[in-house]
Amino acid sequence: MSKPPSFRFVNYVPPRRTVAEYSEAEKKLFKKQFQPAAESYRKGSRFFLIGFVSLFVLFLFFFVLGENQVISQKDAQLIGPWFVALLAILIFTALILAIKHDPICPACNNVVDRVLKAFCPECGASNLLSKTRCSSCGKRLSGGKGRQYTIRFCTHCGVLLDDKGI
Ligand SMILES: [Zn+2]
Ligand SMILES: [Zn+2]
């Protein structure tokens, strides 16, 4: 077996076993194994938020200064490229983080934040028929990075990954 590369593009493999087929000890272990991924995922999202908010505030600040002629147009032109550079760095870091920290289920080895499969990521109910709303917990399940739900259960195999959710 070769070492897995650090940049993983994981192909979907249907789970061989689902939550009911694992023992309590196994499920406990999966949860423990998922913790580092959950932590870095949470850190990553916080980084995005802080980064974008601070950039926005900075931008607003200089815009107000410029509007009130506190800084000259020449100064404003000097500052402009720095904003672009900062934004580029932020987006680049965000991309690296997004690729590196794909949260992967330790039980079935699938990425848990891209698609919705059989299990509800919020409550773990099986037979998730609608991809927009869970019939058990009523949670709206809109997809993508801007999703409105937290992932507590693996959508592929139904194993509980994190109590707080990511
Ligand atoms: Zn649900
Ligand atoms: Zn899984």
Query: Could you tell me if 122 and 140 are in contact, meaning their C-beta atoms sit under 8 angstroms apart?
Result: no
Number of domains making up the chain: 1
Distance CA 50, CA 160 (A): 29
Domain-located, residue 142 = no
Query: Could you tell me if 97 and 50 are in contact, meaning their C-beta atoms sit under 8 angstroms apart?
Result: no
Residue 153 CA to ligand 1 centre (angstroms): 10
Residue 29 CA to ligand 2 centre (angstroms): 13
Domain-located, residue 11 = no
Residue 103 CA to ligand 1 centre (angstroms): 19
Domain-located, residue 165 = no
Domain that holds residue 41: 22-134
On the question of pLDDT at 7 being above 50, the answer is no
Domain-located, residue 10 = no
pLDDT for residue 57: 86
Summarised one tens digit per residue, pLDDT across range 74-99 is 777 787 788 788 888 888 877 777 66
For residue 132, give the ligand nearest its CA: 1
Distance CA 138, CA 3 (A): 41
Across 104-108, average pLDDT:
95
Split at pLDDT 50, 70, 90, the class of 1 is: very low
Summarised one tens digit per residue, pLDDT across range 39-65 is 888 887 777 778 878 888 888 887 787
pTM: 0.70
Across 58-73, average pLDDT:
78
For residue 161, give the ligand nearest its CA: 2
Domain-located, residue 110 = yes
Q: Which of 157, 156, 109, 117 is nearest to 134 (CA)?
A: 117
**Chain position carrying tokens 């019939």:** 135
Tokens of 133: 């709303």
On the question of pLDDT at 69 being above 60, the answer is yes
Q: Which of 21, 42, 36, 13 is nearest to 159 (CA)?
A: 21
Residue 22 CA to ligand 2 centre (angstroms): 11
Summarised one tens digit per residue, pLDDT across range 109-122 is 999 988 888 999 99
Q: What is the DSSP string of 91-135?
A: HHHHHHHHHHT--B-TTT--BSSS---SS-TTT--S----SSB-T
Domain-located, residue 2 = no
Domain-located, residue 4 = no
pLDDT for residue 165: 93
Query: Could you tell me if 117 and 128 are in contact, meaning their C-beta atoms sit under 8 angstroms apart?
Result: yes
Domain-located, residue 152 = no
On the question of pLDDT at 138 being above 50, the answer is yes
Residue with the bigger pLDDT between 26 and 13: it is: 26
